[in-house]
Structures are given as C-alpha cells and as structure tokens.
Amino acid sequence: MTRLDRVLNFIRGIAQIIFAVLIFLDPDDGLVLVIYIIGIDMILRAFSNLTYYFTMARSMVGGRFALYRGIIYLDFGVFTVLTVDALTFYLILYIAVLSFITGAIAVMRAGEAKRAGSPQWRSLIAYGSVNLILVVLVLIGGLVLKRPFLAIDVYACTLIYSSILRIRSSFKESAIIYIK
C-alpha cells in the first residue's frame, strides 16, 4: 500500500465515522442518509467498474464481468437514490443482504486463513459471525417488529467497525509475499 493509499484509507475511515455519528444523532434523517450513502456508493462502484472495463478489462479474458458488475451497480444505485421515500423495506433488505454477504465472505476467508496457518483467522471468524448475527437482528427488528431504526443502528455500528478496521489497516505494515 502506497503512502497515498494509506492517507486515503485514513480519510475514508474518518468520513465513515462522521456519517455513522450523523446517523446515530438523527435517526429520522439517518434513514434518508443511509439510503443516499448506499445509493451513491453503488453509483461510484459502478463508475469504477465501468472505467476499469473501458480502460483495461475490455481486452482481458473474463473482462465482461467488470462491465456486468458496473451495469448492475449503476442500476441499483440509481434506483436507490431516485426512490428514497419508498425504500424503508428495501433498506432493511439491503442492509441484511450486505451484512450477510460480508459475513459469509469473512467466514470463508477465515477458513482459508486457518488452512494457510495465518493467525488472522480468529478475527475474521469473529467479524463474519457478528455480521451474520446482525443479519438476524436486522430482519427481526425491521420486518417482524416493524422497527426500521434498528436496521439503521446496525448499519451505523457496522460502518463504525469497518472504519476502525480501515484506519487500523492504514497504519499497519504491508506484508510482501515472494513466490519462488
């Protein structure tokens, strides 16, 4: 990771903490803020994937997947930003699906790290398990109890946690792996 990447990671982490605090302070406007954050994040990911496709991946094997990802992110992002008023149910599903995917990937990475002998597998399994538990809480609170603010609080907590990990990684030394 270059110095610029470290500085940008640190700035992104601080911005995520600021957004999470804003969400906690005003839960009514926090719902709209979360929807905009998710929508704008998807649109930015779409532009990143589309730029990657048109600059490099177009001529690569399997490069079309970057195009497809970009189009799907763009569709979901625009849909999210344009339908802010009617998205309470969709917001709960977005948060649940994102937490589930993040948790499942972390658990799979933990198994891979354990097989490789990495000591990091314990933190990955804890992070993945907490995300999977949060999925259950979000679904129960949002869909069963009809309390969407629980989903917003869970989103803010995961935002703070991921920002702390991002800030920590910006100060951590990068490992260089040499292949013989």
Per-residue pLDDT band at 8 (split at 50, 70, 90)? confident
Q: In sequence order, which residues have a C-beta less than 8 Å from that of residue 90 and are 6 or more positions away?
A: 80, 83
Which tokens go with 30? 């926090």
Look at 167 and 28; give whichever has higher pLDDT: 167
* Packing angle of the helix pair 148-171, 3-25 (nearest 10 deg): 160
Q: In sequence order, which residues have a C-beta less than 8 Å from that of residue 171 and are 6 or more positions away?
A: 6, 10
Does residue 117 sit in helix, strand or coil? coil
155 has pLDDT over 90: no
Mean pLDDT of the chain, nearest integer: 82
Q: Looking at residues 136-162, what average pLDDT do you find?
A: 78
Q: Looking at residues 25-33, what average pLDDT do you find?
A: 75
Residue pLDDT, tens place only, 87-124: 677 777 777 887 788 889 989 999 998 898 888 888 88
Q: In sequence order, which residues have a C-beta less than 8 Å from that of residue 98 and are 6 or more positions away?
A: none
180 has pLDDT over 70: no
pTM of the predicted model over 0.85: no
